[in-house]
Structure 1
Amino acid sequence: MTGEGHGCVVDLIHLSDGDNSFRVRVLGRRMPGVLPLHDLLDTEVLIESGFVTGRLDLGLSPDDLDGWSHALDVLAAGGDVCWIDDNRSPEIRVQALNKEHETPAVHVDDVARSSISVFLPLCLEDGWIDDQRKLLQLVRREWPSEVLQTALGTYEWRP
């Protein structure tokens, strides 16, 4: 098995304008070597601004990484996305352009645990979506999907 990532911390998402920052940081595999949990990644959501600082734990699956890849395609086309919208907490929404602030923006809603919502407008440089694609590729290289679901509830190692 590769990509254990011991001691390695990698940002999956890093959006910052110097004043406000939103990150999803991958800490490593949840249970390396254990089927079917091997591919689950422990991550933390980090929000920093002059007004609020917050941290939330979040577990991500390979499907969540695929969802983020699709979300980046939608954002590149100028659309808004809701990533992790399967009733887990937190719910993360990203706007390619928030009309009120005329910048991209991130909404994080932690409805299930704290009932706290944070809205971060971010003055991002051109190319920010490509930067996020590079981070996604780095995460996939560091922690490749190594588990294959062959039937409902049946898993094996990828060849």
Structure 2
Amino acid sequence: MTEQGPVELIHLADSENSVIVRVVGATSAGLPGDGCLIAEIVAASEFANGRLTEVYLLPDDLDDWAEALELLAAGRTVSWMDDGRNPEVRIELKGPYISQGQTLNAVEVEVRDASVSLTAVRVLVRLPDDWVDAHRRKLDQVHKAWPLGAR
């Protein structure tokens, strides 16, 4: 954890549903998985809530997230961490639509834990237009708080 506390890498949320990936620490030197970030994934909806802890992010996972953001900005569906090592996060664009005079994007987010068969949660989240840029800034904050290359 940083002095400020955990750092959010992903924060897809509206007033009803959310999926958050939060970096909570880094592995210690000399331990298996050294050079990894420890994260948790929290999914919440009006129907159900779930938390996956001890998700290990490698530098490649952060690079893959940067690439996923570019695909999302281009309107493409992405699957992030789909290698079976971690829970997979799949994001599909479902908008835009108008709500109370404001243009919002909707994304369907599915979190699937490959280690436990048929364990998945899927939520629809309404987001503002600048959500991809906001997530680029979040990725930059994670890199600044947890500089894996300097380890």
TM-score, normalised on structure 1?
Answer: 0.80
The answer on 1:140 being equivalent to 2:137 is no
The CA RMSD over aligned residues, in Å, is: 2.2
Q: Could you tell me how far apart the structure 1 residues matched to 2:90 and 2:120 are?
A: 11
The equivalent of 2:43 in structure 1 is: 47
1:130 — aligned with what?
A: 133
Aligned partner of 1:23 in structure 2 is 20
Moved over 4 A (4+): none
Pair 1:121-2:124 in alignment: yes
Change (3 A) 1:35 1:118: closer
Percent pairwise identity? 39
CA distance in 2 between counterparts of 1:40 and 1:132 reads 20
Count of residue pairs brought into register by the alignment: 142
1:151 corresponds in structure 2 to none
Q: CA deviation at 1:35?
A: 7.6
What 5-or-longer segments of structure 1 have no aligned partner? 148-156
TM-score of the superposition, structure 2-length normalised?
A: 0.84
d(CA) in 2 for partners of 1:15, 1:50: 15
The amino acid across from 1:86 in the alignment is D
> Gaps (5+ residues) in structure 2?
97-104
1:103 alignment partner in structure 2:
106
- Of 9, 13, 21, which residue of structure 2 is paired with 1:12? 9
- How far, CA to CA, are the matches of 2:66 and 2:93 in structure 1? 15
